[in-house]
Amino acid sequence: MKFFLDTADLAEIEEAASWGALAGVTTNPTLYSRIGGKLDDFHAHIKRICDIVGPDCPVSAESVAMTRDEIVRDGRELAAIAPNVVVKIPTMVEGLAATRALADEGIPVNMTLCFTVPQAILAARAGARYISPFVGRFDDISEDGLAQLDDVVRAIGNYDFSEDTVNGEQIEIIAASIRSANHVTQAALMGADIATVPFGILKKCVQHPLTDRGLESFLTDWEKVQNA
């Protein structure tokens, strides 16, 4: 499973990239708003993210348009920012139509706000390169988001959608709305291709109290060696 960082914060992206395990970045309007982002700087900000992670790491930038023609226009503009930009489009009728148009032009799409198997299959048939089922938002309404993710992973895995994607790639499932390290664990066990996680959760994925305790013990014992 690959790790994407779910943020628009440049400092977080730079730090996560320095660990050597980051494979991509996902952004959305909420994340951009949280860092005080301005409309006239949005494209430049996405370009800065692309420059940090490099050309091999996809960066999802979301269209906020609501009609297919406007989404397609947005998508073309976003894709022109850098070759590794992936256009993020909500799962809806107009989004499906726009996804098909963009995929036919060779522009990769990440279909977001996906919650059901039928939505995921429709997104796949429309040409999405990535599909992002949301886990935590199901939990917010007291439903089992991990079970829904598992359904999507298994359903998409039943079929070959490579003839629908831009360059014949296999669709990748991005486990999104991740709220804990356990969400990451379960997504990996289910076979999700990618987990996109906030920086705080990514740090928790590295940490464990037994690791800390073992390190403390090693350092204490080494100090004894030095003082012997």
Point out the residues that are catalytic. 88
- Count CA within 13 A, CB hemisphere, residue 175: 32
Separation between Cα atoms, residue 102 and residue 76, nearest integer Å: 8
The two tokens of residue 217 are: 């013990």
Q: Hey, which bits of 115-180 come out as E strands? A: 130-133, 172-175
> What is the rounded CA–CA span in Å between residue 88 and residue 51?
19
Q: Residue 180 has what DSSP assignment?
A: S
d(CA 152, CA 118): 9
Distance CA 77, CA 41 (A): 14
Contact 16, 22 (CB under 8 A): yes
Q: Which helix (H) or strand (E) holds 176?
A: none
Tokens, residue 102:
């963009």
